[in-house]
Homo-oligomer: A and B are copies of this chain.
Amino acid sequence: MATKPGIPKGTRDFSPVEMAKRNYIFDTIRSVYAVYGFQQIETPSMENLSTLMGKYGEEGDKLLFKILNSGNFLSGVTAEEWGGDNMNRLAARLCEKGLRYDLTVPFARYVVQHRDELTMPFKRYQIQPVWRADRPQKGRYREFYQCDADVVGSDSLLNEVELMQIVDTVFTKFGIRVCIKLNNRKILTGIAEMIGAADKIVDITVAIDKLDKIGLDNVNAELAAAGICEEAVTRLQPIIRLSGTNKEKLAVMKEVLAESETGLKGIVECEFVLDTLEALGLHNEMEMDLTLARGLNYYTGCIFEVKALDVEIGSITGGGRYDNLTGIFGMPGVSGVGISFGADRIFDVLNQLDLYPKETVTGTELLFVNFGPAEASWCLPVMAKARQAGVRCEIYPDSAKMKKQMSYANAKAVPFVAIVGENEMNEGKITLKNMVTGEQALLTPEEMINIIKK
């Protein structure tokens, strides 16, 4: 026999149980997006490479999956391009299209392309796979789903408030306890202004983030090593040692950033979001976290990230405000804010905490044993009735040995088996066996359906 066929590394097959769990995740997120007035869109898996290139940094360009032009893909490619060592340039000649790398850039492209049809503010959600030619590793795949919601065309902070409500509602539905971390890019900009080192903001947040692990002295040493002058490190001290409630943190920040207009604006924005949500009463805790920076450099206002409290795993949701995402496609001045749920990590968390509701797996509820053509014919109209009533049922297609049919039921964890032989046919009834308790009862079709639907 030939060797077993496989699939490309970093990709996955999803079997029925995994699919049922994933559908539970997507359906939950979808239903919450919907009650907040977001509507679904989908964009093509392929975008023109001109849409994708240059949007994710140099590293991102390399991680784009590119699609070989169909037909004569060599047409127009010069010997110099072949022979040269500029792989990116050659790739661009061989390929016009690439696979979607995230949902944000295609969404920006969508907004610009459909601007005349859209009513602003536009609230959309999108649940689709994305592809990245990353080195595969545990929990990192080359094909994975993103579940994004964005509002564009409004700079109101009510949008931030609603996105945090969505996060809170979704994780409450999942039963996952989380901490929602909030920061604001304007505050980070304010800090950079204050110490006169705009390019050092990442070094600062990374160093501060280590406070618990390495202690204040080592943090200060790291800051100095990153090229931040002594005076600036001194001025940073209240920020590094920031603690207490959100209100206390913001009070300290206000003093430290008293001279930065931008920084103060960021603080006011966070205050509005936190105060409004406090009045509404969330199920999960929100925490001002100055070490939160988020890598994507298109964020300009509030940024947020969600951590699970009971599982060691990275951020399971994140997002933020961007002020000029559509500018890259020639449509400036459109402010937006969005979030993205990490479906794969949520899947892992739900598995680890065993939080899937029992009804998640939607397999067959009722298997009819097949004793032969006459019995099978008798069962078919009964099955039609059961299906009409919403019962997921099937008949074993062949009149195989009883043992084989019962082990099929067991392997599929079917909770009820219907047994119809000559006696049952004569009486117009079905012997229903409960596969969990082992109980059997002789029932009319209606009685059987009622028991299963309970």
Contacts and interface: CB of A to CB of B under 8 A. Distances in A.
Interface of A: 1-8, 11-16, 19-20, 23, 34-37, 39-48, 50-51, 62-63, 65-68, 70, 72-74, 82, 87, 90-91, 94-97, 99, 109-110, 112-114, 117, 119, 121, 123-124, 129, 131, 133, 142-143, 151, 154-156, 158-159, 161-162, 165, 169, 276, 279-280, 329-331, 362-364, 367, 370, 376-377, 380-381, 384, 387, 390-398, 408, 411-412
B5 A412 contact: no
Given A44-B7, A67-B68, A377 B276 contact: yes
Contacts of A117: 15
A121 B409 CA distance: 11
A7 B113 contact: yes
A330 B8 contact: no
21 contacts: A7-B47, A7-B48, A7-B109, A7-B113, A12-B44, A13-B44, A15-B114, A20-B39, A36-B392, A46-B65, A65-B67, A68-B68, A72-B87, A73-B87, A74-B90, A94-B94, A119-B408, A155-B398, A158-B397, A169-B387, A280-B380
Contacts of A2: 329-330
B16 A97 contact: no
A13 B106 CA distance: 10
A6 B384 contact: no
A331 B1 CA distance: 7
Contacts of A169: 387
Main secondary structure of the interface of A (DSSP, over half): mixed
Stoichiometry, as copies per complex, reads: 2
B3 A397 contact: no
Given A8-B47, A68-B95, 16 more contacts: A4-B329, A5-B50, A5-B112, A7-B47, A13-B41, A19-B41, A19-B42, A20-B40, A34-B392, A35-B393, A45-B131, A62-B70, A67-B67, A70-B133, A123-B394, A158-B376
A66 B67 contact: yes
Nearest to A142: B46
A276 B46 contact: no
Given A6-B48, A37-B364, A48-B6, A395 B158 contact: yes
A73 B44 contact: no
Given A35-B392, A154-B398, A124 B16 contact: yes
A284 B45 CA distance: 36
Given A45-B129, A408-B119, A156 B397 contact: yes
Contact of A46 (B11, B47, B68, B161): B11
Given A47-B7, A393-B37, A397-B121, A114 B67 contact: no
